Amino acid sequence: MMTRGTILDQNEFMQGLIKRNPGEVEFHQAVEEVATSVIPFINENPKYIESQILERMTEPDRTIIFRVCWEDDEGNIRTNRGYRVQFNNAIGPYKGGLRFHPSVNLSILKFLGFEQTFKNSLTTLPMGSGKGGADFNPKEKSEREIMRFCQAFMTELSKHIGEHMDIPAGDIGVGSREISFMFGQYKRLKNEFTGALTGKALEFGGSLIRKEATGYGCAYFMEEMLKHQGNTIAGKTCLVSGSGNVAQYAAQKLMQLGGKVITMSDSTGFIHDPDGLTEEKLEYIIKLKTFRRGNLSEFSENFNCKFYEDKKPWSIKADLAFPCATQNEIDKKDAKILIKNGCIGIAEGANMPSNKEAVEAFREAGIVFGPSKAANAGGVAVSGLEMTQNSIRMAWHRDELEERLKKIMQNIHQQCINYGVEKDRIDYLKGANLAGFVKVANAMLAYGVV
């Protein structure tokens, strides 16, 4: 491989990665985005080339794939595929969410695990990276079916996780209910009460602010980016996509900071409420999506606003955009429309919601762009604080936790500035990639060849 020379060539590096990981398009996309920022830096610091740090960082420590067999309510045997990608534990135990969605495959989990390496490094907390899940669809399953699936999934996963080894959390399709079923099974199998999962309910070791943390952190990150330009969220119209955990609390914090949230979406379409959401309307959405698991069209019927079936919200005119649903939900066309409509800032609540061409369009237009690994790191940061509280057998107060979250987001913003200053602007993507990279890379260098 050409990296033993003095220069790491991005094309050759990517060709090698694609050859070693055929067909894993989301993983290729995530690595390429990081490589674009990191390779010029590596070429200025040959110690990283000699030690093959980027090659090692793009290869997970291990990948566990397992069969999950469970019984549905009719007594049929069902089989799903479970995964845990333990990506990198150079700076702490593996940490990252579990996703239950029919689209889950190795490529998606490797992209998420790889991104998690940089995100967790940025939080300043001692956390390595991982991601897992299953191609299981929790939608239209009964409560008991979900419980049986979670128990079957954890029966295998429990062999590979633990409070000092790997601490999973939630992600798409895995909320408090699923974490509770899995934690109950873990506790039963291990006969111990340890914080091997985060996102737990408050009654058994969960942390205040955890459920709000990703969305709140994303709003705080936007506020920091705007503040740096002498601007603020107050008075701005905001597009939010998604209506799950991240979107709900991004919307709530945006409203608290004086923003006007005019859209939310789900996998069936989006709502446009030109008057802006209120606490009452958001409460309805939280109940609808989290507890009744209905579709957003119900909201439009109750609150007399428009529902656009099978559409994304990016064509609506607004000042700020917060993609909080899923990967690749903003393409080049969407980005161009946002820019044309006068959007001045994007903060990514979801993981990699903007594709490569969209990110390029934002960059060309000079729009302030907070990449997911920085803007949505608040969730895993408070998961880290949940681990600390579990270890010291304490529960911190809400105000203290929210203050810590705010400080962590400010610190991440500062790290992006430290590494992302350009002539006329801050390149937050480059800043986040480099700041995240340096800490993990230096830890790997210190360990020698392992």
Residues designated as active site:
131
What is the smallest separation between the CB atom of 348 and ligand NDP, expressed in angstroms? 9
Q: Does 244 bind ligand NDP (CB under 6 A)?
A: yes
The contact pattern for ligand NDP, residues 376-415, with x = CB under 6 A and - = no contact, is x--x------------------------------------
Let me know how long the chain is. 450
Interface with ligand NDP in residues 287-346 (CB under 6 A): 289, 324-326
Q: Collapsing DSSP states into helix, strand and coil, what is residue 224?
A: helix
**Among positions 89, 214, 354, 355, the unique one binding ligand NDP when judged by CB under 6 A:** 214
**Among positions 38, 134, 167, 172, the unique one binding ligand NDP when judged by CB under 6 A:** 172
What is the smallest separation between the CB atom of 154 and ligand NDP, expressed in angstroms? 19
Interface with ligand NDP in residues 125-164 (CB under 6 A): none
Other C-beta atoms closer than 10 Å to the C-beta of 280 total 8
Q: In what order do the strands lie in the sheet with 306-309?
A: 306-309, 269-272, 260-266, 237-240, 320-322, 345-347, 368-370
Please identify, among the stretches 145-153, 240-248, 336-344, 416-424, the one whose residues bind ligand NDP according to the rule CB under 6 A.
240-248
Q: Collapsing DSSP states into helix, strand and coil, what is residue 257?
A: coil
Please identify, among the stretches 226-234, 243-251, 333-341, 408-416, the one whose residues bind ligand NDP according to the rule CB under 6 A.
243-251
Q: Which residues face 70 on adjacent strands? A: 78
Number of residues that bind ligand NDP (CB under 6 A): 24
Can you read off the two tokens belonging to residue 319? Answer: 């000042």
**Among positions 106, 152, 246, 375, the unique one binding ligand NDP when judged by CB under 6 A:** 246
* Nearer residue to ligand NDP within complex by CB, 123 or 214: 214
Phi, psi of 257 (to 5 degrees): -90, 5
**Among positions 121, 351, 355, 433, the unique one binding ligand NDP when judged by CB under 6 A:** 351
Where do the H-state alpha helices sit in 191-329? Answer: 210-228, 245-256, 279-286, 297-303
**115 CB burial (10 A radius; 0-12, 13-18, 19+):** buried
**Among positions 82, 92, 168, 173, the unique one binding ligand NDP when judged by CB under 6 A:** 173
What is the smallest separation between the CB atom of 104 and ligand NDP, expressed in angstroms? 11
Of the candidates 156, 169, 192, which has an alpha carbon nearest to the alpha carbon of residue 245?
A: 169
Query: Which whole-number Å values give the CA distances from 185 to 190, 367, 391, in the listed order?
Result: 9, 47, 20
Q: Does 212 bind ligand NDP (CB under 6 A)?
A: no
* Nearer residue to ligand NDP within complex by CB, 128 or 173: 173
Can you read off the two tokens belonging to residue 158? Answer: 């429990």
By beta-carbon distance, which residue lies closest to ligand NDP? 244
What is the smallest separation between the CB atom of 30 and ligand NDP, expressed in angstroms? 12
Q: Which residues face 265 on adjacent strands? A: 270
* Nearer residue to ligand NDP within complex by CB, 82 or 313: 313
User: Are the CB atoms for 265 and 243 separated by under 8 Å?
Assistant: yes
* Nearer residue to ligand NDP within complex by CB, 31 or 247: 247
Phi, psi of 322 (to 5 degrees): -130, 85
Q: Does 60 bind ligand NDP (CB under 6 A)?
A: no
Cα–chain-centroid distance for residue 375?
9
Q: Does 350 bind ligand NDP (CB under 6 A)?
A: yes
**Among positions 60, 128, 170, 313, the unique one binding ligand NDP when judged by CB under 6 A:** 170
* Nearer residue to ligand NDP within complex by CB, 39 or 161: 161
Q: Does 91 bind ligand NDP (CB under 6 A)?
A: no
Can you read off the two tokens belonging to residue 92? Answer: 């702490």
Of the candidates 86, 31, 37, 84, which has an alpha carbon nearest to the alpha carbon of residue 58?
A: 31
Instruction: Give me the residue label for tokens 């400080």.
Output: 407
Instruction: Look at the alpha carbons of 379, 382, 384, 386 in this order and tell me if their dihedral is positive or negative.
Output: negative
Please identify, among the stretches 18-26, 80-88, 171-179, 354-362, the one whose residues bind ligand NDP according to the rule CB under 6 A.
171-179
User: Are the CB atoms for 185 and 196 separated by under 8 Å?
Assistant: no
Please report how the helices 25-44 and 10-20 are oriented relative to each other, as an axis angle in degrees rounded to 10. Answer: 150
Q: Does 243 bind ligand NDP (CB under 6 A)?
A: yes
Side chain identity at residue 94, one-letter code: Y
The contact pattern for ligand NDP, residues 254-293, with x = CB under 6 A and - = no contact, is ------------xxx--------------------x----
Q: Does 349 bind ligand NDP (CB under 6 A)?
A: yes
Instruction: Look at the alpha carbons of 301, 325, 219, 211 in this order and tell me if their dihedral is positive or negative.
Output: positive
Alpha-carbon gap, residue 363 to 369, rounded angstroms: 8
**H or E element, residue 320:** strand 320-322
What is the smallest separation between the CB atom of 268 and ligand NDP, expressed in angstroms? 6
Q: Does 438 bind ligand NDP (CB under 6 A)?
A: no
* Nearer residue to ligand NDP within complex by CB, 269 or 431: 269
Q: Does 245 bind ligand NDP (CB under 6 A)?
A: yes
Q: Which residues bind ligand NDP (CB under 6 A)?
A: 170-173, 175, 214, 242-247, 266-268, 289, 324-326, 349-351, 376, 379
